[in-house]
Structure 1
Amino acid sequence: MTSIPVMIVEDDLRASYVLENTINQHTAFSVVAACENLAEAQLKADAFEPELIMVDISLPDGNGLQLIQGLKTRHPHASFIMTTAERETKTIEQAIQLGVMDYLVKPIRMSRVQQALNDYLDFKQRLTKQEKIDQQDIDALFRKQSATDNSSRKTPKGIDENTLETLTEHLKHIDNTPFTADDIGEAVSLSRITARRYLEYLEAQGQVTMTLDYKTGGRPKQRYSKVL
C-alpha cells in the first residue's frame, strides 16, 4: 500500500519535528515536505502534491487560513488539518467553513495526531469502498453518533481499565522526578509502546504532562511528570 503523502506547514522547528516523527510512525502516512512559511508551502505543494496538509495558523508571512484558501483552488483534492494554539471561536468557525478535516490545539498530543490520521483514513475508506452509502455511514462521515452507539465502557478502545488502575496506582507512589515510558513499562510489566499509550491517555486526562528532552545526544526523549 502506498503511503499517503503529507506536508507540514509549521514555523516552530521543534513542533514540526515532533509532528513529522509522529506522522511517520503511522504506517499509512509519510511526510514528503515540511515548510516554515506560506511562500515555501505554496512552492512545495506544487512540487510534491501532498494529499494531506497540516497547517499552523500563525506563520511569519501570513495566516494559515489564507494559505488553505489558496491551496484549495490549486489542489482541490488535498485535505487539511489545522495545528494551532488559537482557540477563538471565530477562527474555529472559519476553519470549519473552509472544510478542514480536524483542528488540533497546541500543545498537540501524539495520541491526538494519531487519532486525526485514523479519522482521515476512515473518512477516505468510507468514501471509496462503494459508490453509494447508507445513512449510518453518512452520519459517521459527518461525525454524528446515535444514542444507541453509546457504550458503558469508561475508557477508550486500547485502554484496559485494570491496567490503567495499576499504572495510576504506581504513579501515586513515585516521587516527582520526570520518568519515561520505559521506566513505567519496567515498573508495571508493560512494553514501552503500551506504556506510552497509557501515558498519552493520562496526559489527555490532565494527570501527567509530557516534555521533550533534547539533551540526549540524539533524538529527543519524551519525559513525563505527574500533575500535582
Structure 2
Amino acid sequence: MDSYKVLIVDDDPMVAMINEQYVCKNKQFKVIGSCRNGKDALDFLEANPTDLVILDVYMPDMDGIETLKNIRQKKISSEVIMVTAANDVATLEDTMHLGVIDFLIKPFAYERFQIALEKFLANRKAFKDSAVLNQSSVDSIITNTTKAGGKEYPKGIQEKTLSLIRDYFEENVSKDGWCTGEAIADKVGLSSVTIRRYMNFLVGSGEVEESINYETGGRPSMLYRKN
C-alpha cells in the first residue's frame, strides 16, 4: 500500500518531532520533510510532490497563514492541516476560507491528531470513488461521508455509542457546565479509554469543547461541555 507523503512545518523542533511521531503511527502516511518556516516550506513543496502539510501558524519569516495563501496562489495541490496555539475566531476563519482539512489547537491529544488524518483519508477516498459526479457523490466529497449504509464515522466510532454520550450531555450537563470523562464513563458504562476516543471525535466535529484541569493534585483531568 502506498503511503501519503507528509511535510511538517513548525519552528519548534520538539513540536515538529512529536507531530512526526504522531504521523508515523498511521501506516498510511510517511513524513518526507520538516521545515522551520514558511519560506523553506514553499521551496520544499515546489520541488517535492507532497500530499499533506502539517502547518503551524506562528513562525518567523513567513507565518502559517501567509504560507497557506502562497500554497493556494502557486496552485500547489497539497492538502493542509493547520496547527496553532491561537484560539481566536479570525485565525480559524482565515484558514477555513483557504481550504484546510482541519484546525488543531495546541495542546492537542494524539487521538485528536489521528481524527485529522482520518478526515484527509476520507476526503481522498471520496474523490477516488467519484469518477463521475452526481449529487450524491458531491455530498459525499463535501461532508466526507458516504450515504450507503448511513453515515460513515472514523474507525472505532459507532453511532449507537455516540448517541449514548450525546444523550448524557442532554440529560446531565447544563449549557455552561463542564463534566469529566470519568463521569461520562461511569454513567454510560464504558471505559475511560473508550470515552476519551469518542470525546476527541466530538471535539473534532465541533459538538463539544474541551479543557484541561491541572488542579487535581495529580494527573490533569480532561473537562468537556457542549458547544
Runs of 4+ in 1 over 6 A off after TM superposition: 202-205, 207-210
Report the alpha carbon displacement of residue 140 of structure 1 after superposing the two structures with TM. 3.4
Alignment of 1:147-186 (within 5 A): 153-155=160-162
Residues 49 and 12 of structure 1: is their aligned pair in 2 closer, same or farther, counting only changes over 3 Å? same
Cα pair distance change 1:115/1:74, threshold 3 Å = same
Corresponding position of 2:111? 111
Equivalent position of 2:102 in the other structure? 102
In structure 2, distance between residues paired with 1:152 and 1:196: 17
Q: Deviations over 1:140-182 (max 9, x none)?
A: 3222889x859862448xxxxxxx98x956xxxxxxxxxxxxx
Question: Shift of the alpha carbon at 1:227?
Answer: 5.5
| Structure 1 unmatched ranges of 5 or more | 157-163, 170-189, 211-222
Count of equivalent residues: 186
Q: Deviations over 1:14-69 (max 9, x none)?
A: 21111100101111101101111122212222333211111111001122111111
Structure 2 Cα separation of the partners of residues 47 and 144 of structure 1: 30
- The residue type equivalent to 1:47 in the other structure is A
Is contact 1:199–1:208 with CA below 8 Å preserved after alignment? no
Question: Residues 15-94 of structure 1 correspond to what in structure 2 (within 5 A)?
Answer: 15-94=15-94
Percent identity of equivalent pairs:
23
3-state SS of paired residue (1:80):
strand
Is the 8 Å Cα contact of residues 4 and 28 (structure 1) preserved in structure 2? Answer: yes
CA RMSD, 1 decimal: 3.7
Q: Structure 2 unaligned segments of length 5 or more: list them.
A: 153-157, 164-180
Q: Distance in 1 between matches of 2:95 and 2:212?
A: 30
Tell me the TM-score normalised to structure 2 length.
Answer: 0.66
How far the C-alpha of 1:202 sits from its partner, in A, is 6.5
Per the TM alignment, residue 201 of structure 1 is displaced from its structure 2 partner at its CA by 5.3
Query: In structure 1, what is the equivalent of residue 8 of structure 2?
Result: 8
2:143 aligns to what SS in structure 1? coil
**Residues 116-155 of structure 1 mapped to structure 2, 5 A cutoff:** 116-143=116-143, 153-155=160-162
Flag the 1:202–1:125 CA change in 2: closer, same or farther, 3 A: closer
Whether the 8 Å CA contact 2:122–2:144 is kept in 1: the answer is: no
Q: For the residues of structure 2 that align with 1:8 and 1:36, how far apart are their CA atoms?
A: 9
Q: How far 1:225 sits from its partner (Å)?
A: 4.1
